């Protein structure tokens, strides 16, 4: 965290959750920025993401801010189909979701208090499980149409 | 894993859930909504939004038949992502027990764009078992 000195100073004053423990939009922005910097530097995740998002990352970061704002603040900002989008990602493997979650949790713990970091982790873990099921194990799901 | 819509949505259909769902996985029947289990990402945002407390994670016990119903009708009913006015008699049906047996309608709702004139179509009770369902939820 040494090279994030100015960010740390900012966090000390601005990274407090609202009264009800929910994050602010600014906190979500910081999380998304810092997390995806880490993802792009990661030897496992970096190449997959760089291939999926060549060029300008601005739109992706904006999408992810909207996504987490919708999840954590029920803002309704994000409307999309993450299952379909992940299905198109070349090289995506179930194990990579574990790596993603580890980096996400690490980032949350740097930025937020324990309760809020845990809330993010629980949400992210459930979503990751759901995505991996939809992407990799779908044919085995008992409620698929056409199966008894 | 997914969330499922259950009995108390029937004839209440408040639709607050569709506004907050990030992945637009709600589908509209004539008098209830269902969640498409393959599209739901299990984020849980809809659960506390439902004024009728009709949405549960499928990890709750005894929801298999509701899961089956959600999956089956999500594939035939139209998608709904914009909230319409709930039925005018919503509140009268909130909390009524065994609504499925009395009121469930397998007919589709109007989906997005269906409530432009300010309210959904009047709903008539439909009795009888919906096609393709082996057991009542």
Residue A36 inside a domain? The answer is yes
Residue A7 inside a domain? The answer is no
Any A CB within 8 A of B20 CB: yes
| Structural domain harbouring A33 | 19-137
Q: Which of B16, B23, B26, B58 to mutate to test the interface with A (most CBs of A within 10 A)?
A: B23
Residue A4 inside a domain? The answer is no
> A54 to each of A80, A86, A119, how far by Cα in Å?
20, 15, 31
Rounded to whole angstroms, the Cα distance separating B124 from B61 reads: 31
Q: Which CATH number does B3-103 carry?
A: 3.30.70.20
Q: How is chain B split into domains, by residue range?
A: 3-103
Residue A10 inside a domain? The answer is no
Question: Which DSSP symbol is given to B97?
Answer: S
Q: Which residues of A touch B43 (CB under 8 A)?
A: 71, 123, 126-127
For B50, the enclosing helix (H) or strand (E) is none
Take residue A33 and report the two structure tokens written for it.
């920025």
Nearest CA in chain B to A69: B22
Q: What is the pTM of this model?
A: 0.79
Residue A14 inside a domain? The answer is no
pLDDT, average across residues A66-87? 93
Q: Across the interface, do A83 and B41 touch by the CB < 8 Å criterion?
A: yes
Rounded to whole angstroms, the Cα distance separating B31 from B10 reads: 6
Residue A48 inside a domain? The answer is yes
Q: How many domains does chain A have?
A: 1
Least confident stretch, B2-6, B45-49, B132-136: B132-136
Residue A105 inside a domain? The answer is yes
Residue A125 inside a domain? The answer is yes
> A101 to each of A36, A117, A118, B63, how far by Cα in Å?
12, 12, 12, 29
For residue A5, pLDDT beyond 50: no
ipTM > 0.90 for the complex:
no
Rounded to whole angstroms, the Cα distance separating B20 from A54 reads: 30
Take residue B79 and report the two structure tokens written for it.
């998608």
- At A27, which CATH number? 1.10.490.10
């Amino acid at each position: 965290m040494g090279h994030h000195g100015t960010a740390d100073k900012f966090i000390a004053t601005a990274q407090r959750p609202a009264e009800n423990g929910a994050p602010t939009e600014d906190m979500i922005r910081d999380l998304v920025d810092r997390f995806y910097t880490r993802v792009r530097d990661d030897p496992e995740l970096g190449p997959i993401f760089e291939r999926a998002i060549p060029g300008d990352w601005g739109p992706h970061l904006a999408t992810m801010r909207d996504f987490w704002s919708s999840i954590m603040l029920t803002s309704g900002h994000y409307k999309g189909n993450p299952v379909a989008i992940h299905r198109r990602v070349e090289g995506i493997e179930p194990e990579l979701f574990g790596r993603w979650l580890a980096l996400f949790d690490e980032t949350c713990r740097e930025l937020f208090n324990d309760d809020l970091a845990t809330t993010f982790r629980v949400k992210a873990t459930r979503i990751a499980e759901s995505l991996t099921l939809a992407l990799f194990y779908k044919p085995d799901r008992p409620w698929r149409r056409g199966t008894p | 894993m997914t969330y499922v819509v259950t009995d108390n949505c029937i004839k209440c259909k408040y639709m607050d859930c569709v506004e907050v769902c990030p992945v637009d996985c709600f589908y509209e029947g004539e008098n209830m909504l269902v969640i498409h289990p393959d599209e739901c990402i299990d984020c849980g945002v809809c659960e506390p939004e439902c004024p009728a407390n009709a949405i549960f994670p499928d990890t709750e016990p005894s929801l298999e038949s509701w899961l089956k119903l959600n999956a089956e009708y999500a594939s035939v009913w139209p998608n709904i992502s914009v909230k319409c006015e709930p039925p005018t008699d919503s509140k009268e049906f909130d909390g009524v027990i065994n609504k499925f047996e009395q009121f469930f309608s397998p007919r589709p709702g109007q989906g997005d764009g269906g409530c432009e004139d300010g309210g959904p179509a009047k709903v008539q009770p439909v009795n009888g078992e919906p096609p393709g369902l082996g057991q009542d939820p």
